[in-house]
Amino acid sequence: MTLNVFWFLPTHGDSRYLGTSAGAREVNYDYLRQIAVAADTNGYDGVLIPTGRSCEDPWVVASSLIGATSRLKFLVAIRPGLSSPGLAIRTAATFDRLSGGRLLVNVVTGGDQAELEADGVFADHATRYEISSEFLDIWRNALAGTGGEAGYHFEGKHLSVKGARTLYPAVQKPHPPLYFGGSSEAAHELAAEQVDVYLTWGEPPAAVAEKIADIRARAARHGRTVRFGIRLHVIVRETNDEAWKAADELIKHVDDAVIERAQSAFARMDSVGQRRMAALHGGRRDKLEVSPNLWAGVGLVRGGAGTALVGDPRTVAARMQEYADLGIETFILSGYPHLEEAYRFAELVFPLIGKRGAGPSSATLTGPFGEVVGNAYVPKVSQS
Ligand SMILES: Cc1cc2nc3c(=O)[nH]c(=O)nc-3n(C[C@H](O)[C@H](O)[C@H](O)COP(=O)(O)O)c2cc1C
């Protein structure tokens, strides 16, 4: 199997442990560049860059990394309602042109009312999805050149444009691909109608299968097909025992007060996806393996993606294959700390899932790969 594997840029901070400042590191341009270069040179297909008030701005981050990378795609979040369609269209076209067609767009409707209101967005959940739907109609059509020289006209309940078009078109046709996550009914309907790739956080395979079936059925009613991706953390080590020990280590500083504070903040959100993540562990640290090798410990304190695949390389590859068998083509992964784990995952798992990593790809070593033994000979490539 060859899967699309993305990594994640932690623009809200990075650390060795969750829920503490112990082992934390500053996320600045130099560090983000290191992670992006690690992802690019190791053969990851892209990086997801999140949006939110706890994150650096994703468009500025992505733009700053175009020149540091050569093949890596940037899955950059946009928030309809926060930016106008006209601005978003122009930003996307320019980014796609300057990066040589390396833009992917993640549409984020948002699920935290307080955060949205601080940004000046006072619409409720249903209205936000109406706005997202109108926004995407305009965005897609204007970038695709609908209406030709006269541009695209749209008059909606919330958004209207007259003669929208890009003089400098995006490289990717009809427009850079649209990715999108959301677990409410309105989200499924929007995915079915307008997006290219539906993303789910890492729920157990049976729940993911249900979501895929629902979105496929809705898309069929619109005469469309949708592709699927999943967002997971990963804790992979050479043995299963080591991986589970690393999972325990990751939350060793997390105490009940920190869990309580995080869970009550998540409970205030109106995000169905966030509720589904929280329900997996119920705030309890004693039942965190919610499906074989799927561990919900991350979600005790982290919002959004809250589960990790835990195991040795073969186990993790097999669990990924289970999701792939359901129709998942794209895996957006991360691990703490993001720089070291980008290397580790590529080294341990890429060979098992048909991906080229940064390591030696043939039995003949022609350059300084690995470490020369005793200044005398280059070790052979392991066939494992
Ligand atoms: C893979 C993935 C990535 C997401 N990235 C972000 C993000 O960067 N910022 C954010 O505020 N929400 C993010 N979300 C949340 C969704 O965009 C959506 O706002 C949320 O799930 C609420 O919608 P719902 O009630 O339909 O589930 C993400 C969701 C998924 C599945």
Give the model's confidence band at 171: pLDDT under 50 very low, under 70 low, under 90 confident, else very high.
Answer: very high
Structure confidence by residue, pLDDT tens digits, 332-367: 999 999 999 999 999 999 999 999 877 665 556 667
50 Cα to the center of ligand 1, angstroms: 9
β-sheet bridge partners, residue 301 = none
Q: Is the dihedral of CA 50, 52, 55, 59 positive or negative?
A: positive
pTM: 0.96
Give the model's confidence band at 378: pLDDT under 50 very low, under 70 low, under 90 confident, else very high.
Answer: confident
For 287, phi then psi, to 5°, come to -135, 65
CA-50 nearest atom, ligand 1: 8
Which of 171, 165, 221 minimizes the C-alpha distance to 193? 221
Q: Is 296 exposed, middle or buried (CB count within 10 Å of its CB: 0-12, 13-18, 19+)?
A: buried
Spatial separation of the C-alpha atoms in residues 246 and 237, rounded to whole Å: 8
Structure confidence by residue, pLDDT tens digits, 294-341: 999 999 999 999 999 999 999 999 999 999 999 999 999 999 999 999
For the cut 80, the answer to whether the pLDDT of residue 5 exceeds it is yes
Structure confidence by residue, pLDDT tens digits, 22-34: 989 999 999 999 9
Q: What is the pLDDT of residue 383?
A: 55
Domain boundaries defined on the chain: 4-352
Spatial separation of the C-alpha atoms in residues 203 and 296, rounded to whole Å: 9
DSSP structural state of residue 285? S
Would you say 310 and 293 are in contact if contact means Cβ atoms under 8 Å apart?
A: yes
Give nearest CA residue, ligand 1 atom 21. Answer: 182
341 Cα to the center of ligand 1, angstroms: 23
Cβ < 6 A, ligand 1 pocket: 50-52, 77, 108-111, 181-184, 187, 199-201, 231, 271-273, 304
Class of domain 4-352: alpha beta
Measured CA distances, 243 to 27, 57, 149, 230 (Å): 26, 33, 57, 21
200 Cα to the center of ligand 1, angstroms: 9
